[in-house]
Amino acid sequence: MYDGRSVDVLAQVRAVLERTPDVEVLVGTDSHNRSHHTVYSTAIVLRYHQNGAQVIYHRERAPKVTDLWTRLWGEVERSLTVATLLRETGNIPVERIDMDLNSDERFGSNKLHAAAVGYIRSHGYEPHTKPDMLIATWAANLLCNGTVLKHEAPIPGRDEGDVTLQIDL
């Protein structure tokens, strides 16, 4: 899922959609605190109906955000920014925005669940939260943790265009 190359995100997504019009476009962000900073990873997942997905991502290092509500709202804002770029600038339909929030009141992320879901819906996107399967947030989580292995990426040149790339925002 990772080769680290920069890409023109709109051109890349359009090229995939031209070749495979039934690809679903999903957006999600995850974050993790490190000792002195917060890492945010936003992923655009191009999900193929037959098999597999392609991930385009942006990872950033921000000053450490210790407040859970503020850090999670940062995830919501980043996902919305990317989805809006795709839809309004690129005329690319976004199937949904995955959010690492839980609808179950037992979890801390539930405190902003209703606000975030309403906010995303008010912008015309379909929000998905836990316990649903969150493909884009799962990909962003792997990117945050740095657990992505290079051998997971398709071999460049073998399947032209089926490479995973990094967003430069």
CATH number of 6-167: 3.30.420
What percent of the chain lies above the pLDDT cut of 90? 62
Report the C-alpha gap between 126 and 117 in whole angstroms.
8
pTM over 0.85: no
Token pair, residue 57, equals 């991502």
Q: What pLDDT, on the 0 to 100 scale, is given for residue 89?
A: 94
Q: Where are the domains of the chain?
A: 6-167
Instruction: Residue 69: name the closest of 31, 118, 34, 124 by CA.
Output: 31
The pLDDT tens digits of the residues spanning 43-99 come to 999 999 878 889 999 899 999 999 999 999 999 999 999 999 999 999 999 999 999
Tokens linked to 119: 């906010």
Single-letter code of the amino acid located at 56: I
